[in-house]
Structure 1
Amino acid sequence: MLVLLFFIIAFHITSAALLFIATIDNAWWVGEDFFADVWRVCVNTTNCTEIGEHFADYSTLQAVQASMILSTILCCIAFFIFLLQLFRLKQGERFVLTAIIQLMACLCVMIGASIYTDRRQDVHSNNYHFYHLTSEGRYGYSFILAWVSFAFTLVSSLMYTILRKRK
Structure 2
Amino acid sequence: MLIILAFIIIFHIVSAALLFTSTIDNAWWVGEGFSADVWRVCPNNTNCTEIGEGYEGYATMQAVQATMILSTILCCISFLIFLLQLFRLKQGERFVLTSIIQLMSCLCVMIGASIYTDRRQDIHRGNSWLYHPLSEGSYGYSFILAWVAFSFTFVSGLMYLILRKRK
The residue type equivalent to 1:68 in the other structure is M
**8 Å Cα contact 2:119/2:129 also seen in 1:** no
Counterparts of residues 72-87 of structure 1 (less than 5 Å): 72-87=72-87
Match of 1:59 in 2: 59
Match of 2:158 in 1: 158
The residue type equivalent to 1:59 in the other structure is A
Instruction: Show structure 1 runs of 5+ residues with no match.
Output: none
Task: Give the Cα separation in 1 of the matches to 2:31 and 2:127.
Answer: 16
Cα distance, 1:96 vs. partner?
A: 0.5
**8 Å Cα contact 1:90/1:165 also seen in 2:** no
Match of 2:134, SS state, is coil
**8 Å Cα contact 1:89/1:165 also seen in 2:** no
The residue type equivalent to 2:65 in the other structure is Q
Instruction: Show structure 2 runs of 5+ residues with no match.
Output: none
Match of 2:91 in 1: 91
**8 Å Cα contact 1:128/1:135 also seen in 2:** no
**8 Å Cα contact 1:81/1:98 also seen in 2:** yes
TM-score, scaled to structure 2: 0.95
Cα distance, 1:166 vs. partner?
A: 5.6
Q: Count residues in correspondence.
A: 167
- C-alpha RMSD over aligned residues: 1.4
Cα distance, 1:15 vs. partner?
A: 0.2
Cα distance, 1:44 vs. partner?
A: 1.6
Counterparts of residues 1-167 of structure 1 (less than 5 Å): 1-126=1-126, 128=128, 130-164=130-164
The residue type equivalent to 2:136 in the other structure is E
The residue type equivalent to 1:56 in the other structure is E
Task: Give the Cα separation in 1 of the matches to 2:130 and 2:59.
Answer: 13
Task: Give the Cα separation in 2 of the matches to 1:156 and 1:74.
Answer: 13
Cα distance, 1:133 vs. partner?
A: 1.7
User: Identity over the aligned pairs, expressed in percent?
Assistant: 78
**8 Å Cα contact 1:86/1:165 also seen in 2:** no
Cα distance, 1:127 vs. partner?
A: 5.8
**8 Å Cα contact 2:68/2:108 also seen in 1:** yes
